[in-house]
Amino acid sequence: MNMEEIYSQIILDHSRNQANKHDLEDAEITEPGHNPSCGDEIVLQLKMDGDIIKEAAFTGDGCAISQAATSVMCDIIVGKTKEEAKKLADIYIRMIKREDVTDEELELLEDAVAFKNIQNMPQRVKCALLSWKTLDQTI
């Protein structure tokens, strides 16, 4: 299995997996996000322990890319401080926009690096960015 197949499998698994897609009772942070170009909608929900993201979940509807990107993001940011999560959002957004990202930064993105080639599909870029931009604006 080559890297493209692995990345495709990560996206497929997260678009089908509903583990992070649910209401988060008593969430301290709740932020809606909307992609008007294709209708994707999410509501990002975070439970905090001081400055650390204790739990992350989302609700909403959208294409497989937006839902998978949000699910992957939720997995990655749990246990991170707000500052660390904001840094990850910055790296991810730069990656999708084809801006300079180092190999070390890509490693920090864990499974989110699977979305790197979305940059080759301009109609899907906003879908892949929705949750990360919502997070970036929220924290």
pLDDT tens for 90-120 read 999 999 999 999 999 999 999 999 999 998 8
Closest CA to 110 of 9, 10, 2, 31: 10
**pLDDT tens digit string along 48-85?**
999 999 999 999 999 999 999 999 999 999 999 999 99
Question: Rounded to whole angstroms, how far apart are CA atoms 121 and 137?
Answer: 24
DSSP tag of 131:
H
User: What does the pLDDT read at residue 13?
Assistant: 76
- Domain of residue 31 covers 3-137
Asked which of 7-11, 38-42, 55-59 is least confident by mean pLDDT, the reply is 7-11
Number of domains the chain is built from: 1
pLDDT at 1 (0 to 100): 64
User: Is the separation of the CB atoms in 62 and 15 below 8 Å?
Assistant: no
Query: Residue 41: how many CB atoms within 10 A of its CB?
Result: 15
- Concatenating the DSSP letter of every residue in 110-139 gives GGGGGGGGGGG-GGGHHHHHHHHHHHHHH-
